[in-house]
Chain A
Amino acid sequence: MKKTVKLIIRHVVLALLAFIWLIPIIWLVVTSLSANKSIDTTHFFPEHWSLDNYAQLFFRPDTAANFPAWFKNSMIIGIACCIISTMFVLMVSYAFSCMRFRSRKALMSFSIILGMFPGVLSMIAIYFVLKLFGLSDSIAGLIIVYSAGSGLGYLICKGFFDTISVSLRESAKLEGASEFTIFTRIIIPLSKPIIVYTVINSFLNPWMDFVMARLMIKSKSPADWTVAIGLFNLLQRNLIGSYFSVFCAGGVIVAIPISVLFVIMQKFYVEGITGGAVKG
């Protein structure tokens, strides 16, 4: 009897916590279904329901919102960043974890120190460097911004590689395999969790960042923006009154692919993160 009560209490507490965590999400979803375009500060649930915000998002791009174009741009950047960042992280991690060479430690310490410089500050400098290369105001430039420095984020992945048994590599070497072969044929197939972890993290970047993107993308034509710039722009004082629920709808749509990715990859993600964190 006591056990049942305890069990019920446990689940009630969990449900309560989950509820707290989901309140903003629920508000986001119900507001996105509101017929009222502005913020309703008196009611949690909208007075009139409508799917119009989604229709507007997808089928009626106007001078303020062009969601299909934003989605496309973010998708391109996200996928490109995914590929480049994941490659960079794997490459750097392998070099630091599985190979021994002079200045390895020095390079590792140096890269950790580099990562501590406040990114917001160097934004303007990054912009002018890319402008020097003629890459500002382009999707290619944004891809470089998000992925070129990704090699610095090798720590967790390196930790994961550290846990892979060294005898595996040694026996392969005895059989005459080159480092390249070991990297591509042995280490990478074993690293599914950490690859998933890296892929998700680098894919998220362009969907989340609006500060750097707004500086990089000089074009003020909505068709050239990313989802983050575009949605953030909808909250300007002159737009918020007529676009707030559209903004919410946009947030929901963005969350769908990412949540699906998370739920499917949950297992790998957890393994990857912990495998890496063990040796951080």
Chain B
Amino acid sequence: MKKKVLSAVLCMSMAASLFAGCGSDAGTTDGGSDAGAADAGAAGAADAGTADAGDAGAADAGDAAANPIDTLIANTTDTVTLQLWCSEQEAYQTVMAELVDGFKSTYPEVTFDIQIGSVSEADAKDRVLEDVEAAADVYVFADDQISELVNAGALNEVATTYTYDIAQADAESTVEAVTVGGKMYAYPLTASNGYFLYYDKSVFDDADVASWEALLAKANEAGVKVGMNVADAWYLYSFFAGAGMELTMNEDQSNTCDWNSTSTSPTGAEVAEAIQTIATDPAFIAVNDQDSRAMYAQDLKAYVNGVWAVDDIIAAYGEDYGAVKLPTFNAGGQDVQMGSFAGYKFVGVNAYSKNVGWAMLLAEYISSEDGQAAIANATGESPTNTAVASTVSSPAIAALSAQSAFADRQVVGPNFWDPANSLGAQFVEGSVTDFQAALDEAVAGITQPANAQ
């Protein structure tokens, strides 16, 4: 019995000391940060009070925007630690480092410690939601994640801006894209996260890339391949959107989708049949982006992808690299221009950032006119800022802006992706015989209640 007691005692005391130690640690840090926040709050309130009193007249004079920043600078005594997550691409990392330096020199009164981490904007949501409290203060993410991030409370509302006005700097559609439920949640960064058609000019000419039918005919003739990742919901959308069909997210995160419509022209089934015809063409391959990278240099001479692939495309096609808007396809006897998602990259501020003021300023700095110009120069992406947008040009950006006339804002609930991926995979396999039934089944999955499971 005694043995047991002692083992228990040892266990307990070790556990107790461990827990006690950690408990108190947690206590102090919590207390510390709380106290800090309270201090800052109190000091802020006091300062704001004086500032208000002193500058009551000045505020009227229209310099209100400068005041909060001055207050913030005055209130900041410690080193400001911020984390910034952006794309793992070297060009991005380099230009962000430059921008961070620029940001630091804009506020020389404050000492910053800003870490840049590499997280692909496509993965930002997954990495942030693992533990939002440990995620970066400022992160770049792709627009399709905004509703889920807001839903998880991971984005700080952009209640006001201090150094520029988003509504003035960006097009109305862009502002809409960062708005969820009537509130803005992010700073638009680039408008080139959409897709279009890359092709090799030495194989295809302008007429060939205008429609899938011509493209496939030429590819068969020339013995090369053309491709698009049809087994992926994000790309598959372009066919149905082009035919004017609807896909939007409801308030409760479920979707409204009429891809199985029989009343539209062309009907859903006709579109589906057209997709399967394209996808099963001998010259067509439905390779995914990752695997496609090595194939440009081989026989893949036209591929639907985005600006992120431009380096690999140029490396393979060289001088002959061309980019155009998506082709048309023939469904139910009519030529339909493919639609697409208008893809953006946004800068978000973490709602749990300890230095939310500085995080907002950093996000603004990065997404400002100059910031976007620098990023566009370094990465070849097109800015959202209307003033800078006109200054950037490349075939890819031109193709994207031509496509933008047919692109929609992406408002899609989480249940869209897997059923639509699966639908696309069925077309690629060429196994669908009853198109209406396949669509009905997919639509049932896409529109299922968001939280039924």
Residues in B neighbouring A222, C-beta threshold 8 A: 118
Within 8 A of A (CB), among B277-309: 289-291, 293-295, 297-298, 308-309
Within 8 A of A (CB), among B51-68: none
> How far apart sit A103 and B7, CA to CA, in the bound complex (Å)?
12
Binary interface encoding of chain A residues 195-232 relative to chain B, with 1 for a CB under 8 A from any of its CBs, else 0? 00000000000000000000100111110000000000
> How far apart sit A161 and B122, CA to CA, in the bound complex (Å)?
51
Segment touching B, from A36-44, A77-85, A168-176, A262-270? A36-44
The reply to whether the CB of A136 lies closer than 8 angstroms to some CB of chain B is: yes
Evaluate whether A131 and B134 lie within 8 angstroms (CB atoms) in the complex, with A63-B118, A222-B118, A238-B87 already known: yes
In the complex formed, the residue of A with least CB distance to B18 is A133
B394 → A minimal CB distance (Å): 18
Q: Decide: A64 and B88 in contact? CB cutoff 8 A.
A: yes
Q: CB < 8 Å: which of A41, A101, A239 contacts B298?
A: A41
A178 → B minimal CB distance (Å): 15
Q: Decide: A63 and B88 in contact? CB cutoff 8 A.
A: yes
Q: Decide: A221 and B90 in contact? CB cutoff 8 A.
A: no
The reply to whether the CB of A35 lies closer than 8 angstroms to some CB of chain B is: no
Number of B residues with CB within 8 Å of any CB on chain A = 41
> How far apart sit A123 and B6, CA to CA, in the bound complex (Å)?
32
Binary interface encoding of chain B residues 114-128 relative to chain A, with 1 for a CB under 8 A from any of its CBs, else 0? 011111101100010
Q: Decide: A239 and B131 in contact? CB cutoff 8 A.
A: no
Q: Decide: A218 and B131 in contact? CB cutoff 8 A.
A: yes
In the complex formed, the residue of A with least CB distance to B3 is A101
Number of A residues with CB within 8 Å of any CB on chain B = 36
A140 → B minimal CB distance (Å): 13
Q: Decide: B293 and A240 in contact? CB cutoff 8 A.
A: yes
> How far apart sit A221 and B136, CA to CA, in the bound complex (Å)?
11
> How far apart sit A102 and B136, CA to CA, in the bound complex (Å)?
51
> How far apart sit A238 and B22, CA to CA, in the bound complex (Å)?
41
Residues in A neighbouring B115, C-beta threshold 8 A: 219, 221
Q: Decide: A133 and B88 in contact? CB cutoff 8 A.
A: no
The reply to whether the CB of B85 lies closer than 8 angstroms to some CB of chain A is: yes
Q: Decide: A218 and B118 in contact? CB cutoff 8 A.
A: no
A122 → B minimal CB distance (Å): 15
The reply to whether the CB of B130 lies closer than 8 angstroms to some CB of chain A is: yes
Q: Decide: B88 and A240 in contact? CB cutoff 8 A.
A: no
A interface residues (Cβ-Cβ under 8 A, vs B): 38-42, 62-64, 101-103, 124, 127-128, 131-134, 136-137, 215, 218-222, 233, 235-242, 244
Sample of 22 A–B contacts (CB below 8 Å): A39-B291, A41-B294, A64-B93, A102-B3, A102-B4, A132-B26, A133-B18, A134-B29, A136-B134, A218-B131, A219-B117, A220-B85, A220-B117, A221-B118, A236-B88, A236-B120, A236-B123, A237-B293, A238-B120, A239-B88, A240-B290, A241-B309
Extra inter-chain contacts (13) besides given A218-B131, A237-B308, A238-B308, CB under 8 Å: A39-B294, A62-B90, A64-B90, A127-B130, A127-B131, A132-B26, A134-B26, A136-B131, A218-B134, A220-B136, A233-B88, A237-B120, A237-B293
A-B complex: 6 closest residue pairs judged by Cβ atoms: A220-B117, A63-B93, A241-B293, A39-B294, A237-B290, A241-B312
